[in-house]
Amino acid sequence: MPRQTDRIHDGRDRMTVADREGSGPLTTVLAEDHRRLDALLHSASSAADHIDQAVYDQFRAGLLRHIGMEEKLLLPAVQRWRGGTPLPIAAKLRLDHSALATLLMPAPTAQILATIRQILSDHNRLEEGQDGLYAICDRLPAKEMESLLAALRAAPAVRVMPHSDSPAVMKTLEGALGRAGYCLEPIPMHKEDEP
């Protein structure tokens, strides 16, 4: 049977959690959170020239909470399970997390949102793939899995700081993106903007 896909808001196909036979509880919980965050990001920027700040603030707090769950709970759990050896993809995931968190510091613009979408598209595949972080976490021993799921569900909301567009923030942003292998995405011109 051909795999079914759903369309995420940036137009790319992505296999749904339900389409993967044997998806474990961690994959289900965290991939559903990805879908929730995708929907918030789309909703925040659905108007062509306007960013809904209230919805974007929900996305921002949600993404920071999600990153915190992975950094403080998932990656350490897998490293313990592997006898202290980090996953080979852990360094890339952490670089992406750093770039994403830094992108949330300045006020949102179309260029920043396009860059967030690009990073999340690549990053979520690393986490949700057949041999990704979530699939590996789903292989943890049952006792560890239960406590990890409980900790994920109990993860507190994240307090976010006000936006800052200072030169220092923008320089930090450039560096974080570069270390993760990204740069600010160019914004395509609208037809009415063309000469």
pLDDT at residue 189 in the model: 60
3-state secondary structure 16-81: CHHHCCCCCHHHHHHHHHHHHHHHHHHHHCCCCCCCCHHHHHHHHHHHHHHHHHHHHHHHHHHHHH
Cβ neighbours of 10 (radius 10 Å): 15
| Separation of first and last alpha carbons in the chain | 49
Maximum Cα–Cα distance across the chain: 63
How far is CA 28 from each of CA 84, 96, 133, rounded to the nearest angstrom? Answer: 26, 21, 12
Which among 32, 53, 44, 19 is positioned nearest to 114, based on CA atoms?
44
What's this model's pTM, rounded to 2 decimal places? 0.85
3-class DSSP state for residue 159? coil
pLDDT of res. 46: 86
pLDDT number for residue 116: 97
DSSP state of 9: T
Neighbouring residues of 50: CB distance < 8 A, sequence distance ≥ 6: none
pLDDT digit string (tens) for the chain, length 195 residues: 333 333 333 434 444 443 445 689 999 999 999 999 999 999 999 877 899 999 999 999 999 999 999 999 999 999 999 999 999 999 999 999 999 999 999 999 999 999 999 999 999 999 999 989 999 999 999 999 999 999 999 999 999 999 999 999 999 999 999 999 999 988 766 555 444
Q: Count CB atoms within 10 A of the CB of residue 117.
A: 20
Question: Quick check: 148 and 111 in contact, CB under 8 A?
Answer: no
| Residue 99, amino acid | A
Q: Which two tokens stand for residue 180?
A: 């993760």
